[in-house]
Amino acid sequence: MQRVAIIGAGATGLAAAYDLARQGIGVDLYEAGAEVGGLAAGFKDERWEWTLEKFYHHWFASDDAILGLIAELGAQDRVLFPRPTTSLWLNGKVYPMDRPNIVVANLRLPLSWPAKIRYGVTGLYLRLTRNWRPLEKVTAERWLQRAMGREAYETLWRSLLIGKFGTYYDQVNMAWMWARIYKRTPRLGTFVGGFQAFLELLAEHVQQHGGRVHLNSSVRQIERRADGKLSVQVQGQVEEFDAVINTTSPQAMLRLAPQLEGAYAEKLRSLQSMGAVVVIFALKHQLLRDGTYWLSLPASQPDKRNSEFPFLALVEHTNYMDAQHYGGDHLVYCGDYVVPDHEYLRLDEQELAARFQRVLSRFNTAFDSTWVRKWWVFRTPYAQPVPLVNHSQRLPDLRTPIPGLYFASMSQVYPWDRGTNYAVEMGRDVAALVLRDLAGGGVTGGSVGKA
């Protein structure tokens, strides 16, 4: 039996393992954490019926890759697609973005009529066009200012870009922004029991087809041997494989495979990314009484200490899913994207939670500390790739120059934004590539990628 190792049991690794195991490949899936799921993994308080994602997640109705996989697993009846309210905070007021519909919502924005018209026409164009490649040649800041005018850009989009990308906000290309608008739907999906329930279901199917899932198993090194096999060092043991798929970050790939050199290694080094931090509060009462699920907050500059709010998004999950699934807790995410060396990633958890909690009364004047039953902090240095101008030229191929070694990370789902839908799509793509190479009598280094 041919053997393939997969590093990382997130959605990419699980999807690849599922397809390979069904074809009779011996799959060993190594996950450093205590559960499958990667950045989409969840956790569960003792009072809850459902798990909750550590970092907020949802699907769009246009997410065909993951919805198709769920249908293959026979679990489409466990997918929920309500229509929650998403809003913007502008000048101390909450503006719903698609209630009662997107046209009426746009007309209510605090813009002049000429700016509203340009904003609406620009949004319609981005929803209809499919040709994204010219858009990657220019920054989102420059394109949006030119298309919708300075007023709409400064009022609506600049702060969102700053909140998402910090000091990179004026370097991100327009293709990324197009993808966000093009794929968005008003209905947002999740899985009964939480994303963790879906990921565990997928892991069960991997195991049913003979795949092995190793939790708490951190891979230390990947090495190409003289006999053509690949060795994987994990938990003090060395295992041999015909192929290895690594789904971790570009930086981790360089550490794990020191044999990578030349142009491919340079591409890995050139990829920039943002980290993420969330504080989740379990409250005794509803915070956003207007029913908003997702509230985007303004950021006047990358240093949040000098902005109106210390984080970019307030997400009241239980304005999306019923609080009864969580023991009556009202669950609120306070989330931010930060550079990998930001203080939020090393700050004492209690201090970080206190800093975020201090602004909650801005959203509900009745809020006080007695509302907080419990809180949790989750952080990661690798969460959001930064797509610069002509980003497609920077992407490393799925095949690395080392025969048998493949790299499939969320940095390569471009122009789409990171998420479980594109992770599944990439996992299945790299699995198909491995199967073709193995069937051809051996794996070879090459330049086959996906864009």
Class of domain 3-78+192-271+389-439: alpha beta
Q: Is 200 helix (H, G, I), strand (E, B) or coil?
A: helix
Q: Which residues contact 282 (CB under 8 A, 6 or more apart)?
A: 45, 326, 329, 330, 331, 372, 373, 374, 375
Full-model pTM: 0.94
Confidence (pLDDT) at 293: 97
How many C-beta atoms lie closer than 10 Å to residue 327's C-beta? 14
Pairing status of strand 3-7 against strand 26-30:
parallel
DSSP of 287-328 = S-TT-EEEEE---SSS-GGGSSSSSSEEEEGGGTS-GGGGTT
Percent of the chain with pLDDT over 90: 89
| Spatial distance between the Cα atoms of 395 and 442, rounded to a whole number of angstroms | 25
Smallest CA-to-CA distance from 346 within 313, 381, 305, 374 is with 381
Q: What is the pLDDT of residue 445?
A: 47
Model confidence band, residue 101 (pLDDT cutoffs 50, 70, 90):
confident
| Residue 441 pLDDT class (50, 70, 90 cuts) | low
Domain limits, the chain: 3-78+192-271+389-439, 103-182, 273-386
Write out pLDDT tens, residues 239-279: 999 999 999 999 999 999 999 999 999 999 999 999 999 99
- pLDDT of 306 reads 79
Give the pLDDT band of residue 301 (cuts 50, 70, 90). Answer: confident
Rg (CA), the chain: 22
Q: Whole-angstrom Cα distance, residue 347 to residue 326?
A: 28
The structure tokens 């999906």 sit at: 189
pLDDT band at 451 (very low <50, low <70, confident <90, very high): very low
Superfamily of domain 273-386, CATH level 4: Protoporphyrinogen oxidase, mitochondrial; domain 2 (3.90.660.20)
What sign does the dihedral 362-160-414-245 (CA atoms) show? negative
